Amino acid sequence: QVQLVESGGGLVQAGGSLTLSCAASGRPFSNYAMGWFRQAPGKEREFVAAISRSGGNTYYANSVKGRFTISRDNAKNTGYLQMDMLKPEDKAVYYCAVKTSGSSAYSYEYDYWGQGTQVTVSS
């Protein structure tokens, strides 16, 4: 079992920045690829970014490419999502998730999920 706890969400003005953290426990974080997903009210959960187990490969949704940066520190068992140039449409609950083997943009492939953290962007 892996437990994931997100933090760092909050209210920010459009154009601002936030950094989300995902603290993992239970099993070695380095065994898992990590992804960030988000879900806005009334919408499906969508892929945001993913990172390989070593951190050497990253992937982004087109909607966040160039604005968001995913990273990880395996020594600290923590993953991150740096969000810059935030837009009102980025408002959502953000979830981190982990899976064995390679990264994926498909939520159903992920094995463990955090509880989510709310990000609100005011215009």
Residue 41: exposure state from Cβ atoms within 10 A (0-12, 13-18, ≥19): exposed
The vertex-117 CA angle with 28 and 56, nearest 5°, equals 40
- Rounded CA separation 63/34 (Å): 19
At 101 the pLDDT is 83
At 20 the pLDDT is 98
Instruction: Please count the other Cβ atoms lying within 10 Å of the Cβ belonging to residue 11.
Output: 12
Amino acid at 6: E
Q: How far apart are the first and last CA of the chain?
A: 40
Q: Are strands 117-122 and 10-13 parallel, antiparallel or unpaired?
A: parallel
Contact 97, 4 (CB under 8 A): yes
Q: How would you write the pLDDT of the chain (123 residues) with one tens digit per residue? A: 999 999 999 999 999 999 999 999 999 999 999 999 999 999 999 999 999 999 999 999 999 999 999 999 999 999 999 999 999 999 999 999 999 989 999 999 999 999 999 999 999
**How far, in Å, are 60, 68, 74, 112, 122 from residue 83 at the CA level?**
12, 4, 20, 22, 15
